[in-house]
Amino acid sequence: MRRLVRGLAGSVAALVSLTGLPYAVYLLLAKVWNPQGSPAQKRPAEPTVSIVLPTYNEERIVENKLRDIVSLDYPMNKVEVVVVDSSDDDTREIVRSFFVDRQAPELTLLEEDERRGLAPALNDAYAAASNEMVVKTDCDSRVAVDALREAAANLADPDVGAVTGRNVDVLGGSDVEEGYRDVQATIQTLESHLDSTLIFHGPFSAFENEETVPIDPDSIADDTELALKIRKNGKRVVFDPDIRYKEASHSQFGKRRTQKDRRAMGLIRLLLRNRDMLGRYGLYGGVVLPFNWWFMLVSPWLLAASLGLATVGGLLVAGPFGLVVPTGAGLFTFLGSRDRLGSLQSVYAVFDTQVSLLFAAVKLWRGEGSAVWDVDEELRDVYE
């Protein structure tokens, strides 16, 4: 019995250290090397810009979004707005009347009769975009006024084909998301300095028009997929924390699952479909992709196994008192999802992401992962 318990305890310790090893390496690299900002050779540039805005039933917030776009610090006669709309509400009428009597920016409105999902809509929009820099932005986000200039400065580096930005303020005040975004910014800065980063963010992603290629019609990691393909074709795709945007999100455990699990499904599927990139494409396939494989596909399972083993071990040693492990995990989740963990909040945020990745793998395996989803109405309140 004692041997069994000791064996279990040893396994749990080994599993936990194994799970954490790549994180420790990344963290150490980030601390010792301490890369800051974008790795691109940034210089002022003023290319023509196509701003791509996909909309599905955004009548409540689309006008505010357009107002934000036209108040960006950029010569609007160099900007074209490409709205691809799949709505059955008044979104497209609102868009059209916003551009009436407006010289600039120019509007290209693509109207879909039937909603096919975001990826096909974006493919049409990218094909229609005629300017040098293509900026994709979600309707439910706010972009800093200097974002186009910062993005253009990154793309002026001939080695860089795409750039994404940083969520500087989580609207709605979710500390869970806030904590995670900070961790993520550190990771993505490191990845960008190594070579390129994996994740591109819906609120702001900029691409060289020449580099855009179609994405899979069933993609649910659209921005990330386009960036990955651009990297595959040779150019670097980087993260610049000086490109700032804001996006709303929930803290509550249940509410977070819908969106986070879907996004996680998209990323897992993308990694699996592009597994041939592992070990190729310089440090992107050599370090960045393997790390993300670990984070998204391996460590959630190791973590779950550790929790399971620790629970079994606890029950064997202490009977009912062995439930302290699952109870602790439950309490951690309860407090974390109510933003009450103080300095541990960012640890909880990573845990929350691991939970999503675990659920996402199961959902994908069960055949879920449709490219058409319910748009979260509650998250849109702050943009009205």
Binding site for ligand GDP (CB under 6 A): 54-56, 58, 84-86, 115, 117-118, 121, 138-140, 202, 259, 263, 372, 375-376
Q: Which is nearer to ligand GDP, 210 or 368 (CB)?
A: 368
Residue nearer to ligand GDP on the CB measure, 249 or 337: 249
Residue 102's SS3 state is: coil
Site for Mn ion in 124-143 (CB under 5 A): 138, 140
Least CB distance to ligand GDP at residue 263 (A): 6
Residue among 61 and 310 whose Cβ is closer to ligand GDP:
61
Alpha-carbon span 380 to 220, nearest angstrom: 20
Instruction: Tell me the helices (H) and strands (E) count for the chain, helix number first.
Output: 13, 8
Q: Judged by CB, which is closer to ligand GDP: 144, or 371?
A: 371
Closest CB to Mn ion among residues 236, 250:
250
139 interface partner picked from Mn ion, ligand GDP, none, CB below 5 to 8 A per type: ligand GDP
Closest distance between ligand GDP and the C-beta of residue 112, in Å? 6
- Binding partner selected for residue 81 from ligand GDP, Mn ion, none, CB under the kind-specific 5 to 8 Å limit: none
Bridging pattern class, strands 49-55 and 133-136: parallel
134 closest CA partner among 51, 213, 201: 51
Smallest distance from Mn ion to CB 138, Å: 5
Least Å distance between CB 93 and ligand GDP? 15
What number of other Cβ atoms are within 10 A of residue 365's Cβ? 10
**Rg value, the chain, Cα:** 22
- Helix residue spans in the chain (DSSP H): 2-33, 62-70, 91-99, 118-128, 147-155, 175-194, 222-232, 253-273, 282-283, 289-293, 299-318, 324-336, 345-365
Query: In angstroms, what is the minimal distance from the CB of 203 to ligand GDP?
Result: 8
Q: What share of the chain is helix, strand, coil (3-state, %, to 5)?
A: 55, 15, 30
Residue 84's binding partner, choosing from Mn ion, ligand GDP, none, with beta-carbon cut-off 5 to 8 A by kind? ligand GDP
* Residue 105 contact partner, candidates Mn ion, ligand GDP, none, CB within 5 to 8 A by sort of partner: none
Give the residue from 104, 107, 105 showing the smallest Cα distance to 128.
107
The span from the CA of 177 to the CA of 181, in Å, is: 6
For the sheet with 160-171, list strands across it.
Answer: 106-111, 79-85, 49-55, 133-136, 205-208, 160-171, 236-248, 142-143
Q: Footprint of Mn ion on residues 137-196 (CB under 5 A)?
A: 138, 140
Give the rounded distance of the alpha carbon of 337 from its chain centre.
20
Q: Which is nearer to ligand GDP, 54 or 314 (CB)?
A: 54
Q: How many residues bind Mn ion (CB under 5 A)?
A: 2
| Residue labelled with tokens 């494409």 | 281
Residue among 160 and 264 whose Cβ is closer to ligand GDP: 264
Minimal distance, residue 52 CB to ligand GDP, in Å: 10
Shortest Cβ 212–ligand GDP spacing (Å): 17
Told to check if 222 binds Mn ion by CB under 5 A, we report: no
In 10 A of CB 166, how many CB atoms? Answer: 22
Closer by beta carbon to ligand GDP, 58 or else 195: 58
- Residue 30 and residue 186: Cα distance in Å, rounded? 7
Q: Least distance (Å) from ligand GDP to the CB of residue 264?
A: 11
Residue number with the shortest CB distance to Mn ion? 140
Site residues for Mn ion per CB under 5 A = 138, 140
